Amino acid sequence: MGSKVTSYDGQQVWRSFNESLPLPVRLPPSRRLEEQRFPWRDCLIHVDRFSNEMAPARVVLHHGVGTNARVMSIVLGQYLAAQGFDVSALDMPYFGATQCPSSRIVYEDWVAIGAHYIEEVLPHDGKPIILFGFSAGGMLSYHVACRTKRVAGICGTCFLDMRDAEVRRDIAQSPRLNDAIERIGKAASRLVPGLRIPLSAVSNMQALTNDPSVTKLLMRDTSSAGVKLPLGFLRSFLEYSPEIEPEEFSRCPIHLFHPASDRWTPVAASMRFIDRVSAQTQVTMIDGAGHLPIHSDAVMQLRQGVADCIRSRIAIDRTGALESAA
């Protein structure tokens, strides 16, 4: 089944999260945010939208397995919109306000939804499309870019190849528990793929932010960090192989914005992927940031860094267009 939330209008949790943040980080009531939806198979995919048809670029935000589109809109989306970009934040099945009647959605469906949005929902107007992913959304953005040639750049806070056993151990609640869960989970996911378990049982969700009270708030939210995911989805998440391996990926640059005070995912786990990428890569450490940056200085560094990254892609896109015209 999908999230019980059908719209953020009637949800209090995100408002409590917003109010827990420093004033410069919060989403103000004056910021125009539209909720849109598009069909995909028997699902209704929810999108937080900051629409701007005059924007020089379009940005698509992907959450990870501990947040949702509204968290992305607050932390990053609203700022990018204020900088003049067209912004979409997608809720994937099981999270946010997306509705799916099936519990058989697997990670590959997430990738398909992301590519479908770019190819079938966003206009084909020649504007560069930049993907940003928080946490597991970073690798999701990469996987989506492997399926469509319309992506001009990828940014993210993590790029974790979950096929890598060392990476899985790095982010687990404890290495021994992770190994036991993997052995039990692989067998159980074949027998009862629809059986749901809380994410906190298999990951270090307590390190989602560096503020325990904010983390507890998000972990009570069944549309974000408090979600229970089917074993079949978790298995597919761990085993997914992209259409293009990083050694062969040259479609667009990848920029890692890694939180320097992340207590969940060490930068080395992302570098195991980044170091394999054939395309141009760049790494920026976000000073003082936890896994989900929520403090003013860290959030502003992330916001400004991503905005600069987008502007650089716009400049390159325009230069390429001029050279083609010449």
CATH of the domain at 314: 3.40.50.1820
CA–CA dist 244, 274 (Å, integer):
14
* Domain around 30: 8-325
Burial level of 184, CB count in 10 A (0-12/13-18/19+)? Answer: exposed
User: Could you tell me which of 55, 65, 41, 39 has the C-alpha nearest to residue 88?
Assistant: 55
**Structural domain contains residue 3:** no
Q: Tell me the residue length of the chain.
A: 326
Please give the pLDDT value at position 160: 97
Domain count, the chain: 1
With respect to residue 95, please indicate whether it lies within any of the assigned structural domains.
yes
Question: Is 87 inside a domain boundary?
Answer: yes
User: Is residue 255 within 8 Å of residue 152, measured between CB atoms?
Assistant: no
Looking at the domain assignment, is residue 45 inside a domain? Answer: yes
pLDDT values of the chain reduced to their tens digit, one per residue, 326 residues: 456 778 999 899 999 999 999 999 999 998 889 999 999 999 999 999 999 999 999 999 999 999 999 999 999 999 999 999 999 999 999 999 999 987 789 999 999 999 999 999 999 999 999 999 999 999 999 999 999 999 999 999 999 999 998 998 888 765 544 554 555 455 555 656 678 888 888 788 999 999 999 999 999 999 999 999 998 898 899 999 999 999 999 999 999 999 999 999 999 999 999 999 999 999 999 999 999 999 999 999 999 999 999 999 999 876 665 445 44
pTM of the model: 0.94
Q: For residue 235, what pLDDT is reported? A: 87
2 domain-assigned: no
Report yes or no on 1 lying in a domain: no
Burial of residue 279 (number of CB atoms within 10 Å: 0-12, 13-18, 19+) = middle
Task: Give the model's pLDDT for residue 177.
Answer: 47
For 321, list phi and psi in degrees, rounded to 5: -65, -40
Please report whether residue 90 resides in a domain: yes
Q: What is the DSSP string of 246-265?
A: GGG--SS-EEEEEETT-SSS
Structural domain contains residue 254: yes
